[in-house]
Structure 1
């Protein structure tokens, strides 16, 4: 075979035909020779899921142990004495303060004393720092009244720092519970329809949902304990709704209270609420998607349009400059 034969169109067509036939045979025969790897893959996935579940349960149990220990902890004697002497609990706290602390995940008497102490300690510390900076670092050309006003403004900002921190904690915790609640409600519905009692359903869901949200698992565990010890289930449901502060949880607890009062099946109420919760989650996702264009308007105006103008008008400007030169 010489080079002229290799360069002919007939030889190129034969090579392409051979490649096409080989590929066709390979595509037809390989599925028959390949073994079914579904079982091995499912087995590996199950093993990995068990490892992750064991790890997350261990972390959940450690977190619950720390929280239980924190519930037993009492505030320090000096802090308690300061709060009691200044009567801060009546001046700066009310029933809503304790509820907000519970919504943020802080329970017991110690977090309340810490919060009240922070409300007076942070402004005082910021005032001292501002005064040291104003009278030792700032130039003496500024008048005294200006320095005092600046110090008071800094101290005033310190008054709102504990409330802002608490609000941030509440918002983050509510968001975490809200994201995990639809899945928890579906699991609860499965448990109830399989014949479990509502107490056992809460307990099983608390064990399973800890992988996704430790906060929700903790709340469901507390509700399980309250269902076992309180005289009325209605109180336990209302306490869960109050501790979480999530509208979806409040609606489901209200449905459970009405089911307990009127004797309607719990499974029916949970099924209806699960459908509503899934619909609300879809509406929330649609709202987030619809809010993206307005949010992207300002970044596009600030960053994309100037670059676009430079790219489009740059050559024209350069040509004009060359012409005038």
Structure 2
């Protein structure tokens, strides 16, 4: 039945027409149902900019009392403070990674701490309940205990793995768009535009290439306007991204701010270095392809190739016998 249907021209025409119709509908509907992530992230940037503005204004008027903290969700805050999770689960590395992954504020930090506490307990209880009540797979008690401990370890490492992946994904997006952003920044600087206006303009133009970089540049624009020292804004940009190329540009901007050196030539050199670094990374990936393709070729290509070559010869041998 299947072979007859596949050999029927009318059936094949109907299948191909159905596939074409589905592909057409999917192509037309995708722009309508796609989320505009750029608008959402830029709105988040505007909210963050307003928060920085309010915080800096409050700090200037209340210098003796210090800056105010943003209040996160009340329940999460009370839970974290009650059990003092920041003392025995929080680390400076995790705080830095949260910032580099785009999760800012105490709310994100408190949520991360809660997940670091809840996930190991949940994974341990789920693994133990499954082995005890549902199916123990006829395993010994020591092996079951090892499975429960491994589940607890997965629960401990899961938030860190998620955070590390989010940070690396964000850094990759910034790294790819950074040379283009430097070119735009160089054009603005050589045209006589101030750094605040240059960062604001570049953050608007680079959004289509990298939402993360547009967000960071917009925050830098806000900090340049409201922080007491512009050097702090450049240092915060390097800390939030965690990239050496961004740190080099921040250092050049700080030196230009301090000593009055021209920034155009430095930006041109740094943009070329960033572009060369991006090209070198692409060449490294291309050079690493042959070793990676060796195993798939042995497992998938060579057996098919041998079958195509040897099958006619084997058929002739069997017919001759």
TM-score normalised according to structure 2 size: 0.77
Instruction: Identify the match of residue 233 of structure 1 among 230, 241, 252.
Output: 230
Q: Please state how far the C-alpha of 1:100 moved relative to its aligned partner.
A: 0.9
Sort the Cα spacing of 1:134 and 1:58 in 2 relative to 1 into closer, same or farther, 3 A.
Answer: closer
Larger RCO, structure (CA 8 Å, separation 6 or more): 2
Q: Deviation per CA, 1:123-164, whole angstroms, max 9, x where unpaired?
A: 111111111110111148433333232212111111100000
Which has the higher Rg, Structure 1 or Structure 2? 1
Q: Deviation per CA, 1:71-99, whole angstroms, max 9, x where unpaired?
A: 99743333223222322101121222211
Q: Deviation per CA, 1:177-213, whole angstroms, max 9, x where unpaired?
A: 1111111110000000011011111111111111221
Q: Is the 8 A contact 2:112 2:159 kept in 1?
A: yes
Partner of 1:283: 280
2:133 corresponds to 1:136:
yes
Instruction: Identify the match of residue 204 of structure 2 among 202, 207, 212.
Output: 207
| Runs (5+) with no aligned partner, structure 1 | 1-54
Partner of 1:116: 113
Q: Please state how far the C-alpha of 1:105 moved relative to its aligned partner.
A: 0.3
- Separation in structure 1 between the aligned mates of residue 178 and residue 117 of structure 2, nearest angstrom: 37
- Separation in structure 1 between the aligned mates of residue 184 and residue 99 of structure 2, nearest angstrom: 25
Sort the Cα spacing of 1:130 and 1:89 in 2 relative to 1 into closer, same or farther, 3 A.
Answer: same
Q: Please state how far the C-alpha of 1:250 moved relative to its aligned partner.
A: 1.4
Q: Is the 8 A contact 2:196 2:221 kept in 1?
A: yes
Q: Is the 8 A contact 2:185 2:199 kept in 1?
A: yes
Q: Is the 8 A contact 1:60 1:210 kept in 2?
A: no
Q: Is the 8 A contact 1:79 1:113 kept in 2?
A: yes
Instruction: Identify the match of residue 160 of structure 2 among 152, 159, 163.
Output: 163
Q: Is the 8 A contact 1:174 1:246 kept in 2?
A: yes
1:1-325 equivalence runs, <5 A:
58-65=39-46, 74-139=71-136, 141-323=138-320, 325=321
Tell which deviates more after alignment, 99-108 or 227-236. Answer: 227-236
- Separation in structure 2 between the aligned mates of residue 89 and residue 313 of structure 1, nearest angstrom: 67
Q: Deviation per CA, 1:283-318, whole angstroms, max 9, x where unpaired?
A: 222222222222222211111111111111222233
Q: Which 4+ stretches in 1 moved above 6 angstroms?
A: 68-73
Instruction: Count the aligned residue pairs.
Output: 270
Sort the Cα spacing of 1:59 and 1:77 in 2 relative to 1 into closer, same or farther, 3 A.
Answer: closer
Sort the Cα spacing of 1:229 and 1:75 in 2 relative to 1 into closer, same or farther, 3 A.
Answer: closer
- Separation in structure 2 between the aligned mates of residue 90 and residue 183 of structure 1, nearest angstrom: 42
- Separation in structure 1 between the aligned mates of residue 50 and residue 153 of structure 2, nearest angstrom: 35
| Runs (5+) with no aligned partner, structure 2 | 1-35, 53-68
